[in-house]
Structure 1
Amino acid sequence: MNNKNDLLRQITNVVVFVFTLVVNFLAIALPLNNRSTSQISDELPSFFTPAGFTFSVWSVIYLALIGFVIYQAMPSQRENIYLRRIGYLPAVANLLNGLWIFAWHYAYYGLSVLLMLALLGTLLTIYIRLNIGLPSQPDEARSNADLLLIYFPMAIYFAWINVATVANIASVVNYAGWNGFGIAEPTWSVIMIGVVTLIAGSVLVSRANAAYAGVLVWALYGISAKQPDNVATAAIVAAVVIAIAAAVGWYRFYQRFKKPNSAATTIAS
């Protein structure tokens, strides 16, 4: 990839992120379609939706993404191997994020699920391409700036969208009147919490990633704060399991992968 293409990638990431910020601002300030986010949540209740305060994690995600966009736009980072590795995927993720907001506010709920799944898949691809949670290779050691401004934003973004995808699907199928094969909705919520925990636990055992784990624990705490006793208990147990899986992942990292030239590992690695 030549310098001209690198510059185009940098500009695209900036432009698309600004679009996403503007859409988010309009969703709050207008709001879009005269429907606030909280109003839509009230219209689409589910036993998987976290308490309102949990969504404050978006402020952390967007601050981290601002850092990412500024960092990737710097001339000195134009040929950064990690930024080249993920290419236009961050721009695709942010575009999907902005389009999802339109779909959500204008009640295109089926489309919102498709956009959310596409966003999840995009972030998963970024996660894999960056080898987040795995030690760097000897010939491509990650700098602290890379870890803080590339790895950390993508890790917490991906973690939250894990939860948001399940919550989105749960809300939409409930709104559509699905009877859940006769299984009570709280029971389905417990099942979904179990599935999320199984997937996240598998990721964390194999990849040391405190940022990913922290966001998931926060989301599960939010679910426990809002939902009835059986769902809340399942969420608390899941949070503990994820914390343990994260600890095991870190132990495995230092026992199996510790090398002198892979020591540049922080909260986001």
Structure 2
Amino acid sequence: MSKFTLNKLQLTNIIAFVAVIVMNTLSNTLPLNGRSAGEISDALPSYFTPAGYTFSIWGLIYLALLGFTVYQALPAAQNKPFMQQIGWLFALSSAANVAWLFAWHYGWLLLSPLIMLVLLVTLILIYIRLKIGAVNPALAWVERLLVQFPFAIYLGWITVATIANIASVLANSGWAGFGIAGPTWSAIMMLVAVVVAGGVLVNRRSLAYAGVLVWALFGIRAAYPAVPVIATTAVIAALLIIALAILGYIRTRSTTHRLSPRPA
């Protein structure tokens, strides 16, 4: 990218982040269409929606993204590979974030999961391009903290949010679920989350990504403690993700040792 393009990219990323924060704030303080996100979730119940406190993870996500936004805006960041790797994907993910708010608050239920999938795909692409969790001993700690960490936890939460969004739409569309009870579908979707996490964690040691998924699973358990199949599956799924994260850490750690230079 030319210096002019990089300058535009840095400014666009700042505007995109500010737009996300402003619209998320207004969506609950106005609120958009007269309903807060919590009120909409309560009106569209599903057995995959976690307890309310679980959504506090957004505070950490947006704080981390603030760190990224400030860091990428520094003049020295233009020479960093991550600027080329992320490119315009962060701006696209932010546009999807804002678009989803309108779809959710205005009851465009069939559109909302499609927009959420766009957000998920952009974050997956960022995750892959940044090689988050891959072996890279030369990567500075500041980039791990301000570039890789924000997108790892963002992707972790959107992984769960996408499944929850689809579950809410299906549960409230009159879909009979092939005769399978709602709690059982919730258990199935938690196992799907484990499979998705496995694809991410076995070859990468993104403990941040795993941590967010575990947080969400225990949030689901907290929401339905009296439903045995949900409570039990949530714990099992969380333990499986922890095991996958440890396995990925051990594998990449052994690779790091093989790649590390040995004294003559």
Under TM normalisation by the shorter chain, which class is it?
over 0.9
Q: Is the 8 A contact 1:205 1:245 kept in 2?
A: yes
CA distance in 2, matches of 1:256, 1:78: 30
What is the match of residue 252 of structure 1? Answer: 251
Q: Equivalent residues in 2 for 1:134-145 (5 A)?
A: 134-136=134-136, 141-145=138-142
CA distance in 1, matches of 2:105, 2:128: 31
Q: Is the 8 A contact 1:3 1:79 kept in 2?
A: no
CA distance in 2, matches of 1:43, 1:185: 16
One-letter amino acid of the structure 1 residue matched with residue 84 of structure 2: R
Q: Equivalent residues in 2 for 1:77-96 (5 A)?
A: 77-96=77-96
CA distance in 1, matches of 2:199, 2:78: 34
Q: Is the 8 A contact 1:14 1:69 kept in 2?
A: yes
CA distance in 2, matches of 1:108, 1:229: 33
In the alignment, structure 1 segments of 5+ residues that lack a partner are 262-269
What is the match of residue 9 of structure 2? Answer: 9
One-letter amino acid of the structure 1 residue matched with residue 113 of structure 2: V
- Structure 1 outlier segments of 4+, above 2 Å: 256-261
Q: Is the 8 A contact 2:28 2:35 kept in 1?
A: no
CA distance in 2, matches of 1:11, 1:203: 31
What is the match of residue 183 of structure 2? Answer: 186
- Tell me, yes or no, if structure 1 residue 202 matches structure 2 residue 162: no
CA distance in 2, matches of 1:144, 1:11: 24
CA distance in 2, matches of 1:135, 1:83: 19
Query: 125, 129, 154: which is aligned to 2:151?
Result: 154
One-letter amino acid of the structure 1 residue matched with residue 223 of structure 2: K
TM-score, normalization by structure 1 = 0.94
The Cα of 1:132 is off from its aligned counterpart by: 0.8
The Cα of 1:79 is off from its aligned counterpart by: 2.1
| CA-to-aligned-CA distance 1:32-57 (integer Å, 9 cap, x gap) | 11101111011100000000000000
Query: 173, 182, 197: which is aligned to 2:170?
Result: 173
CA distance in 2, matches of 1:2, 1:260: 34
Q: Equivalent residues in 2 for 1:232-251 (5 A)?
A: 232-251=231-250
CA distance in 1, matches of 2:248, 2:161: 24
One-letter amino acid of the structure 1 residue matched with residue 255 of structure 2: R
CA distance in 2, matches of 1:132, 1:144: 13
The Cα of 1:204 is off from its aligned counterpart by: 1.0
SS at match of 2:110: helix
| CA-to-aligned-CA distance 1:113-140 (integer Å, 9 cap, x gap) | 110000000000001111111112x8xx
CA distance in 2, matches of 1:38, 1:85: 35
SS at match of 2:175: coil
CA distance in 2, matches of 1:242, 1:51: 20
- Tell me, yes or no, if structure 1 residue 225 matches structure 2 residue 222: yes
Q: Equivalent residues in 2 for 1:34-183 (5 A)?
A: 34-136=34-136, 141-183=138-180
Let me know the Cα RMSD of the aligned residues.
1.1
In the alignment, structure 2 segments of 5+ residues that lack a partner are none
One-letter amino acid of the structure 1 residue matched with residue 22 of structure 2: V
The Cα of 1:257 is off from its aligned counterpart by: 3.4
Q: Is the 8 A contact 2:183 2:229 kept in 1?
A: yes
What is the match of residue 213 of structure 1? Answer: 210
One-letter amino acid of the structure 2 residue matched with residue 143 of structure 1: A
The Cα of 1:198 is off from its aligned counterpart by: 1.5
